[in-house]
Amino acid sequence: MTDYLFAKPNFLGGMARSLDLGGTLNVYNDSPSPEVADALALKSDWMAVGQDLWNAIEKFGSEYDVEKS
């Protein structure tokens, strides 16, 4: 899972948000259009699927002692 469209908080940001009663510090990663956001989300999803497949192939190879070509 990726965090492309989510904020990446840190300690100081968390401390500042506790004092921000108006919610003015809430900034999220955005895209120019919904279509671009969807395309980026789909790309991210397929990249995660591809990484899962590579992990499964490597695990299978190590468990069954398959030579890498």
Residues 19-55 pLDDT 10s = 888 877 776 667 889 899 889 889 989 999 999 999 9
Q: Is residue 6 part of a domain?
A: no
* Domains contained in the chain, number: 1
Q: Is residue 4 part of a domain?
A: no
- CB-side neighbour CA atoms (13 Å) of 41: 11
Q: Is residue 5 part of a domain?
A: no
- Give me the pLDDT at residue 2, please: 59
Q: What pTM does this model have?
A: 0.55
| Residue range of the domain that includes 49 | 11-63
- Give me the pLDDT at residue 67, please: 63
Q: Is residue 53 part of a domain?
A: yes
Q: Is residue 22 part of a domain?
A: yes
Q: Is residue 1 part of a domain?
A: no
Collapsing DSSP to helix, strand or coil, 66 comes out as coil
Give me the residue label for tokens 């070509």.
69
